[in-house]
Structure 1
């Protein structure tokens, strides 16, 4: 399966606040919030949802195509993506702007407050997905992740015109999208990814009920943090896949991207949705144990051990055979 991931490429500035955001909020004054959190740790890492998903796929033996825009500072980052097995030939490199910045603060409850500066990401709308499709000899699936909103809409329309299946993953950009734009992004998608909060926000943005959304997509994957993931398909009973537990959670940034990479790798190996979700949950746990979204080490034996402990020997055998072939 040839997978393209259209999404942001960014530098992450990750900070830790040694307290709880909730304790600093006053219910009667939320309309006039003016807060400053003194962080006691800063990590600067490479990230962006498009790049993060691609790195995960690359480390699982899938050679994904990254579709996005980066800045004049991209050379070193691009080389590291290549070494992770990512095709970066369709990345647009700006001549004037720097790569996007993601500034995120995490509290001791793993809640996060983040701001994104677009930078070169604004040029993603100038990429023609049809040219990417021709260059690689055809695409089987295009993930439309958080990116420049105009780029997301353009890539979605182009994929539908080309007859390429779409995995809609609007995530952080739901805050910027209006009703019509949100509907355009998810209507007709083969897959839809959201977390639990984004699920509610998506319903509010579209004005559709859950059943109306399900009638328009193939499957809806809703990640629920420590509670795992729910797989929703119209006319079928909801499947709930538990998370892979850990006592060493360090940083939740990039965990959702890791789930997507593992899930998509499972689909590329022709595994059913529940098995693919198990891979995604296992990879998500690997990432949450590491600071940064791409700094984790992925060992097939470690991944299979986690899957065995969480889901049983049958699951490990089914996934292990595919993982061995990919490796």
Structure 2
């Protein structure tokens, strides 16, 4: 299955604040906040939603195609992605801008305050999918992950025009969309990914009910943190997949991307939604227990052990034939 993953390619600057943001927020003064948090730790890591998803798919041996815009400083990052099984031949490298930056501070309660600098990502709207499809001999699925908002709309439109199946993952960019744009991003998607808050935001922006949305997409996957994943398909009962227990969250950044990658890997292997979501939940715990979104280490045995612990021996046995190489 050839999967093209479109979206952001970024460098993450991850900081840790040992206190609690909430203790510094004063009721009645939130309209004029002026705060500075003294961080104890700083990690600079490779990131970006599309790159995170593509890297995980690459580690599963699925040869994903990364489609996005990176900066003049992309050379080393590109080598890293290729060494992890990612095809970077469709990455547009800017001649003038630097790769996007994600600057995020996490407090003692795992709350986050972040700023995203788009940089070269603004050039993603210049990318068409057809050359990638031609080079790959066709595309079975296009993932439309958070990106330059105009690029996301253009990719969704091109998928509909050319008949490419696509997964819509509007995520953080929902906050910047109008109702018409939000409807355009998800209309006709084979898969729709949101978290619980984004699901409410999507309903608000589109004016659609859950039933309206399910009438326009194939399958709607909603992540619910410690409560796992809820999967809805029109005419079927909601499938609820509990989260895999974790030994402790080191950094929440990238957990959602890992879940999406695991789910997509399961789909690529022809597994049902239940097994695909279970794999996604298991991989998410690995990322949550690591600092950064791509530096996690995992063997097939470790991942199967997490699946066994979370869902039982049958789930691990069903996935074992596909996990023939280290992740």
Give the equivalent residue in structure 2 for 1:126. Answer: 126
Q: CA deviation at 1:325?
A: 8.3
Three-state SS of the structure 1 residue aligned to 2:137 is coil
Q: What is the alpha-carbon distance in structure 1 between the residues aligned to residue 30 and residue 178 of structure 2?
A: 23
The Cα of 1:27 is off from its aligned counterpart by 2.8
C-alpha separation in 1, matches of 2:161 and 2:225: 35
In the alignment, is the contact (CA less than 8 A) between 1:251 and 1:291 conserved in 2? yes
Distance in 1 (alpha carbons) for counterparts of 2:326 and 2:255: 22
2:96 aligned partner = 96
Mapping 1:160-179, distance limit 5 Å: 160-179=160-179
Secondary structure, in 3 states, of the residue corresponding to 1:96? coil
Contact 1:199 1:222 in 2 (8 A): yes
Contact preservation (8 Å) 2:300, 2:326? no
Q: 1:27 and 1:265 mapped to 2: Cα distance? A: 45
How far off its partner does 1:116 sit? 0.5
Deviation of 1:28 after TM superposition, in Å, equals 1.7
Q: Secondary structure at the match of 1:125?
A: helix
Which consecutive unaligned segments of at least 5 residues does structure 2 have?
Answer: none
What is the CA-CA distance between 1:316 and the residue it aligns to? 0.5
- Tell me how far 1:109 sits from its aligned partner: 1.2
Contact map agreement 2:227 2:242 (CA 8 A) in 1 = yes
Q: Which runs of 4+ in 1 moved over 6 A?
A: none
Residues 240-259 of structure 1: pairs in structure 2 closer than 5 A: 240-259=240-259
1:236 aligns with 2:236: yes
CA contact (8 A) 1:278 1:307 kept: yes
Deviation at 1:278, TM superposition (A): 0.3
Question: Residues 325 and 9 (structure 1 numbering): CA distance in 2 closer, same or farther, change over 3 Å?
Answer: closer
User: Partners of 1:326 and 1:132 in 2: how far apart?
Assistant: 28
Pairing 1:67–2:72 present:
no
2:200 counterpart of 1:200: yes
- Scaled by the length of structure 2, the TM-score of the pair is 0.98
SS of corresponding position for 1:243: coil
**Contact (CA 8 Å) 2:241, 2:278: kept in 1 or not?**
yes
What does 1:1-327 correspond to in 2, within 5 Å?
1-324=1-324
SS at match of 1:28: coil
Once residues 57 and 221 of structure 2 are traced to their aligned partners in structure 1, the CA distance between those partners, rounded to angstroms, is 18
Cα deviation, 1:123-167, whole Å, max 9, x if unaligned, reads: 001111111111110000000000001110111111111111110
With structure 1 as the length reference, what TM-score do the two structures score? 0.98
CA distance in 1 between partners of 2:53 and 2:31 (Å): 35
- Asked whether the 8 Å contact 2:59–2:326 carries over to 1, the reply is no
Q: Is the 8 A contact 1:61 1:326 kept in 2?
A: no
Find the aligned partners of 2:21 and 2:326 in 1 and give their Cα distance. Answer: 42
Ranges in structure 1 where 5+ consecutive residues have no aligned partner? none
SS of alignment partner, residue 240 of structure 2:
strand
Q: Distance in 1 between matches of 2:22 and 2:201?
A: 20
CA distance in 2, matches of 1:255, 1:301: 20
SS in 1 for 2:87: coil
- Conserved 8 A contact 1:4-1:142: yes
CA contact (8 A) 1:59 1:298 kept: no
- Provide closer, same or farther for how the CA distance between residues 157 and 209 of structure 1 changes in structure 2, counting only shifts above 3 A: same
SS at match of 1:91: strand
Instruction: Give the 3-state SS of the residue equivalent to 1:250 in structure 2.
Output: coil
CA distance in 2, matches of 1:213, 1:22: 34
**Residue 322 (structure 1) shift:** 2.2
> How big is the shift at 1:326?
9.8
Describe the superposition over 1:232-265 as per-residue Cα deviations: whole angstroms up to 9, x where unpaired.
1111111110111112210010000000110000
Partner deviation per Cα, 1:152-190 (whole Å, 9 max, x = no partner)? 011111111111111000111111111111100001100
* Partners of 2:19 and 2:142 in 1: CA distance: 39
